[in-house]
Amino acid sequence: MTKFFYRLFFICFVLFLTGCGRTSPRHYTDTDTAMGTVIIQQIYAKEDFTDEVLTCIRRLETESLSKRVEGSEIFDINGEAGKEAEIPLTPEMEEVLSRCLEISENSEGAFDITIGEVVGLWDIDSWAGMSTDNPDSSFRLPAQTELSETLALAGYEKLTLENHGIRVPEGMALDLGAVGKGIALDEILALLQEREVMGAVISVGGSILTYGEKPDKSPWKIAIADPENQGGSIGVLTLTGQCCVSTSGDYERYVEADGVRYHHLIDPATGYPAQSGIRSVTILTKNGFLSDALSTACFVLGEEKGMELAERYGVEALFVREDGSISMTEGMQSYFSLSKPEK
Ligand code: FAD
Ligand code: MG
């Protein structure tokens, strides 16, 4: 009888070991492009979900968020600008737009998705960290009058969002460039939660999602780019579980002309790239939409008001000032470690 039990125990133990081998997660990686930026995925799971994640981002881009893609919901909304009748919205778009309006109100208009025409006037899509020294550059500084006229068409307070529809005034264009990648992180998170994923870190341009854990249980390490030298980093965030990290920086998209750097973070008060005394803002929170929207808003607001906005939303923020020095919310200090002595 005892022998029988020993045998049974041995068989169970062998089955347990084989089972472990079969079910242990593998490390899948993928690098691709979508939303005009690079998507880098690292997923620890039993199956490869990287294609599904990419499809999810591209579907969001082409069906909903990209003002450049004919047939997307935002493209169609912009096409209906100036019409008397309300443009009907999907529940998802209604939620996105109302959350955007709330951030606009709370940031005193520093964040404003109605500046699409101003963004178009600067031709930001054609910038990729290039300089006008580049002979291919087609950069043209918009004339002041042209800029003022275009800016006059913008203004979030002119939007009417009611009855599950929106009215967009003539000449206005909506641009979700400041939140699209964060929205993508939230969709990806929902997808990973539905699948058997042990852990993942997924970067959609300047917005990064961490989820779950690695097989060795070590924390996620997210580097924050050095605005002076993007190959390097100013420091690292040590994170566990689900986090969203978004950085808005003046080095991401810019043109230099006559010694001036024109970047893609526009101050809706002037129509010019924001001059708020900082080079970058990093926001850490659990929600992708918030991290992306607030990184843009805080950049435009600058350190003092940006810090207040971050505290109001209960998110962590880190600012890199123009002189390279750093300031951050108290909570951020427990995640951040410096990779070089502060200037
Ligand atoms: P963020 O701070 O997150 O966003 C900056 C962007 O938001 C600006 O580029 C501008 O569009 C807008 N913005 C600027 N100032 C403000 C403000 N004060 N308030 C609100 N919004 C503001 N780029 C391409 O070149 N080609 C593409 O095909 C393309 N497709 C895209 C599709 C989608 C769905 C999205 C979301 C972006 C796309 N982009 C494309 C844009 C590209 O990825 C941008 O570089 C990116 O959106 C800027 O992100 P960021 O994280 O650097 O800065
Ligand atoms: Mg943003």
- H or E element in which residue 181 lies: helix 180-194
Best residue among 266, 267, 272, 299 to mutate for probing ligand 1's pocket (most ligand atoms within 8 Å of CB) is 266
Q: List all residues 6 or more positions away from 197 whose beta carbon is below 8 Å from its beta carbon.
A: 43, 44, 45, 49, 211, 212
Q: List all residues 6 or more positions away from 106 whose beta carbon is below 8 Å from its beta carbon.
A: 309, 312, 313
Instruction: Quick: pLDDT tens for 102-114.
Output: 999 999 999 999 9
| Residue 292 CA, ligand 1 centroid: distance in Å | 10
Instruction: For residue 321, list its beta bridge partners.
Output: 278
Ligand number with the minimum distance to the CA of 264 = 1
Contact status, residue 35 vs residue 180, Cβ threshold 8 Å:
yes
DSSP 8-state secondary structure symbol assigned to residue 273: B
| Residue 46 CA, ligand 2 centroid: distance in Å | 33
Atom of ligand 1 nearest to the CA of 65: 34
DSSP, residue by residue, 93-147: HHHHHHHHHHHHHHTTTSS-TTBHHHHHHHTGGG-SSEETTSTT----PPPHHHH
CA angle 304-277-124, nearest 5°?
115
pLDDT for the residue numbered 220: 98
pTM for the complete prediction? 0.93
Provide φ and ψ at 186, rounded to 5°.
-65, -40
| Residue 4 CA, ligand 2 centroid: distance in Å | 65
pLDDT for the residue numbered 24: 85
| Residue 136 CA, ligand 2 centroid: distance in Å | 28
pLDDT for the residue numbered 57: 98
Q: Answer left, alpha or beta for residue 164, where phi above 0 means left and psi between -120 and 50 means alpha.
A: left
Nearest residue CA, atom 27 of ligand 1?
36
Instruction: Quick: pLDDT tens for 172-225.
Output: 999 999 999 999 999 999 999 999 999 999 999 989 999 999 999 999 999 999
Cα(156)–Cα(174) distance, integer angstroms: 10
| Residue 69 CA, ligand 1 centroid: distance in Å | 14
Residues with CB under 6 A from ligand 1: 35-37, 61, 65-66, 68, 111-113, 115, 119, 124-125, 175-178, 180-181, 205-206, 248, 252-253, 264-266, 268, 292, 295-296, 300
Instruction: Quick: pLDDT tens for 234-247.
Output: 999 999 999 999 99
Q: What is the pLDDT of the chain when averaged over all its residues?
A: 92
Residue with tokens 């999810």, as numbered in its chain: 56
In this prediction, the residues of the chain whose per-residue pLDDT falls under 70 are 1-23, 129-137, 340-343
pLDDT for the residue numbered 134: 60
